[in-house]
Structure 1
């Protein structure tokens, strides 16, 4: 748990800090996940591969700089729907390399390294950089993480919420909107502080949870949140223990093993994509309540099941909404049962 003093510090970050945002001096050079990016001017054409970056750019007022989006787990936040409707969606999942470069981007913002990286599903950074197209990888997915181990990478150190603030700050520098970036980070820190304060009001000694993202098939082991990842950070921030110890981002774990751990809560992802059967949260619920193993888990018997948008489980602005929703849900349960 974070200390109350931290809460006061976060809330205390006010407008005064925003008055010192200096304009970007171009050419701007940024070190990003092992690459050096140089911008002669603010990009006028950006493509995003990942919803996290897409919604960050919307929040920074940069919709008019975006010419293509891709890789969506949930529908766009309602406040950005009008802007999003005017931008071409290149793909619901990974776009082709050709479709991205056809937009003549001056920046490609990438949420996950397995999309653009050494074994990129879209392409490698070198392929883009040879065409003078800079690729910005979200630090949340490349710093202290090995994306060549495990299906979705393995954390070498616990996820840090600072990596989200870092992306917002760097987008602010790249596009010369530093004041907007500072204000957005201040708002997100205040949201986190509010959630922590709510959790401080109800802090049982040992409550645990399992986070179920999806399953390639409902009759095989599910993809669940591993140790050190984003959902693990969310749980730990609220004083909840993740029953999964693997450092893989989304390992598969058998339901018999999960049942033995008997988590206090089950957190399941709701998503609008339909890549796997268990992307549908209603199918998750049906499975949990009817499978002979899962229906005997205390969290299922007592209906301690929390539904979160999948993007809340990714490093994004929605992570803060997810923490708030978790804090509120946990506070609403009678844990004496």
Structure 2
């Protein structure tokens, strides 16, 4: 039994704390679009590891018909659930592959998957087939996904959008108690890790977060000033050396080297679109390149390896905070 399910069971053991069941038809507002569900959905197809693992944590694997778009291996506690759900694609699925499952609900973690220029399809295409397509609020609220390769933040990322995502998906699936328990667990862990970082007393420490690169000879994709990794750094008392409002702007290594961050965070992923998706290739580059090799963080091995999915608006976000806090211990030694 995984820790999320166990927490949910404790919550449901207290009848007074139980939420009212979902009343259908249910209509929710999703990034300015009204989605209506006539009943609890079957054959859910989740496009994105974040939405998939939320559904697993809510105990909804038995109502899922497929998943797609993975960055890391599934969390160990969800391996059994994941074995029972078909993986339509490791990366971007086709519209035809998704609708072939006759889904009653298609949630995604990224608006560029389902949106005005959706790589899988538009909301209208799904709506024409009577399929509610849902985008996590973390990727559409306070963000313009039509500007920049991965969108541009109009306001800093707000963790409330993750809680809203879990709440809404729990209501859709009539799993409110599991959703409440999941959010309570994540909030408690967030509080604990922030307190731990504050106790380290590391004034003016900084960081740079490297997701990947289209080519190791090209400028890397770094975490922008208002995105999710920037929120993580701020919560732990670190300053992001990248100032762009784009989600993942390309920034020259010379610029990053001049900023000389105290810590470099690199993404580890199983995806292999680019050579730099391999974190070991990142490490080799940092240590061998004449520019990056001169950075203090590289010389002193202040490099934190973080699962890519922990840099997304997901239940792994708090895992990422915890791993990053462990890496910050090196700054005080």
Cα distance per residue 1:121-149 (max 9 Å; x no partner) = 11101000010000011000000100000
Structure 2 unmatched ranges of 5 or more: 1-9
1:77 aligns with 2:82: no
Per-residue deviation, 1:329:
1.5
Is contact 1:18–1:182 with CA below 8 Å preserved after alignment?
no
For the 8 Å contact 1:159–1:229, the answer to whether it is kept is: yes
> 1:119 aligns to what?
117
Residue 61 of structure 2: aligned partner: 63
TM normalised by structure 1 equals 0.94
Cα distance in 1 between the residues matched to 2:48 and 2:140: 14
Aligned mate of 1:25, from 6, 23, 33: 23
Match of 1:151 in 2: 149
Name which of 310, 316, 319 aligns with 1:318. Answer: 316
Unpaired runs of 5+ in structure 1? Answer: 1-13
TM-score (norm 2): 0.95
Q: Call closer, same or farther: CA 1:272–1:185 in 2, change over 3 Å.
A: same
Give the 3-state SS of the residue equivalent to 1:184 in structure 2: helix
Q: Deviations over 1:73-114 (max 9, x none)?
A: 001111111111121111111100000000000000111000
Spell out the pairing of 1:186-205 with structure 2 (5 A cutoff): 186-205=184-203
Rounded to whole Å, the distance in 2 between the matches of 1:30 and 1:142 is 15
1:267 aligns with 2:265: yes
Aligned residue number for residue 244 of structure 1:
242
- Contact 1:74-1:309 within 8 A present in 2 as well: yes
2:202/2:331 contact within 8 Å kept = no
CA contact 2:302–2:327 (8 Å) conserved in 1? no
- Distance in 1, Cα, partners of 2:98 & 2:294: 48
Who is 1:210 aligned against? 208
Deviating 4+ runs (over 2 angstroms):
14-18
Equivalent of residue 278 in structure 1, options 268, 276, 279: 276
Question: For the Cα contact (< 8 Å) 2:48–2:68, is it kept in 1?
Answer: yes
Instruction: Give the conservation status (yes or no) of the 8 Å contact 1:52–1:111.
Output: yes
Counterpart in 1 of 2:135?
Answer: 137
Q: Deviations over 1:280-326 (max 9, x none)?
A: 00000000000000000000000000000000001100000000111
Does the 8 Å contact 1:18/1:179 carry over to 2?
A: no
